[in-house]
Chain A
């Protein structure tokens, strides 16, 4: 049994905007009966070229129906330029999240939207322009590349969850692996790895973390040189320590403190830490 959020259940049990618009401005259809899910999306624009009405019909599981319903609610009232920016993440987030194995339902929503807008604009997206990597589910390299980039996917299993590619005979797994590698190599070039985002610490967490870091990263190294260090107090971002043992006589203790202890605490606790020495 899947763990669906209340919002998914609600959109499954009471789907919004079910149906097909007569004389629509754009229609998009993705998926198939054989693949186990499909979505047909149609919309009509108002005089300001904003989406006035949008309807869907979906064949698929609860999360596919809920994702389609959510998509229609998200794009209603948006201009096409705004709508085209909607990602599969936006759909999943709108629903309070989807089980990872079901993320392909949100991707299907996004693809149907894109197809419908292309249909309105008279553009053609044909699968023939791209290589079909997964023959079981007819997934192209373009679709896999994009899902990998936008959702920061790392494994073949994840690609299957998001695009269904590789979920059948598994014959295309090496190709998918190569695509992941290519995309990730490109991503790293574009953006140097950002510093891991730190969540905000409570005072207690901060104090604990400082103690842990001193105990693990700093004290053993000082002790190896016959020195030691004692945590005296913490006030905001200021950490007061006293040097013990050999360190307390060491002329380079000023350097030790600033360079060594502070660097470590900045690395493991917070960037704004300042270390001050308390003289006996």
Chain B
């Protein structure tokens, strides 16, 4: 979390504890600050403040978008999404499938790219909503969201995108967009965990997911989480400022790290289309080793990465994203991801580059398949 964000939040835990929905002056001054935060978020997204609905997290935003759309078009039973969504959409769609909705999951190719023709062919008169993530959280691949939105809007169908992984990484401007609804989450913007936003374009049919009071203009019941809203507002202001840094300095750090990994370690695959990728994501698969082992050895050195391997999650299969992309079985279990931010430095990249190759070598020395592979290559 950004220190400026914490600083902005603190007074709203103590001094200014009024309820923004109250009529008295004490609530009123808090209401004004909530409005400032709403303006900050709107400015960051290129939206109108009235289009911003605060929620408790990205998952709630996703649930609200899909269920709100379904509720607004009760006669329609079909949804379109992709095979590589975050569980907030993926598991929700499986649930809706069990409840009798028809779900189309768009596939991705070996580089994690979607096929626009498949989207065109999938749209029907029965389609209530299309929801495709802006960029994939595991590979960082950015999808052609505006083109997809255009195709969907031609049919008059609402279009939602989960931009949790995207916001703050690449510029978003709802004024020049085909997106009807967009989810973001605070913790990916250096705001705290436990706050999110659903952007709802004016004129989009919507009905609330959390039913209650008149808060958020009747679009989300529940007393406003004032300190977190203030924090998210501040974080959006900072994110807008840092956007250029993300796309120049952080992108350069990412390219440097990725390039060095490829140079220094044999049998590595970069997951996802390198031409269309978030500037902060490195997703690589190491053949013949397993991801959890890599993560634990990295963690021992103070390096925090994440993995699409099975063993880290408690599931037994590699992540649905890697499987959907058809990552070869020699590498599917050995994938890890580094997510960089504006707070990372070149020294940290060099530290990773120094320590990662011996870790991979050490695990390959333990792995029965590495020597077999070398033998088969005539190198052993």
Chain A interface (Cβ within 8 Å of chain B)? Answer: 2, 12-13, 15, 18, 20, 29, 33-34, 36-40, 57-65, 101-102, 136-137, 160, 164, 167-168
Contact = CB atoms under 8 A, between A and B. Distances in A.
A167 B368 contact: no
B305 to A, nearest CB: 12
> Which 5 A-B pairs give the minimum distances between C-beta atoms?
A167-B316, A61-B311, A57-B368, A61-B292, A40-B368
Nearest to A137: B316
A168 B316 contact: yes
Contact of A12 (B289, B293, B311): B293
A59 to B, nearest CB: 4
Interface string B99-133: 00000000000000000000000000000000000
B369 interface: yes
B7 interface: no
9 contacts: A29-B368, A36-B316, A58-B366, A59-B289, A59-B366, A59-B368, A61-B291, A62-B296, A168-B317
A66 to B, nearest CB: 10
Interface string B24-52: 00000000000000000000000000000
Contacts of A36: 290, 309-311, 316-318, 333
Interface of B: 288-293, 296-297, 300, 309-312, 314-318, 329-330, 333, 365-369, 371
A200 B112 CA distance: 60
A57 B314 contact: no
Contact of B288 (A33, A102, A168): A33
A80 B368 CA distance: 24
A241 B85 CA distance: 68
A119 to B, nearest CB: 15
Nearest to B367: A59
A62 B299 CA distance: 12
A40 B316 CA distance: 20
Contacts of B316: 36, 137, 160, 164, 167-168
A60 B311 contact: yes
A59 B296 contact: no
Q: Which among A2, A58, A61 has the highest number of chain B CB atoms within 10 Å? A: A61
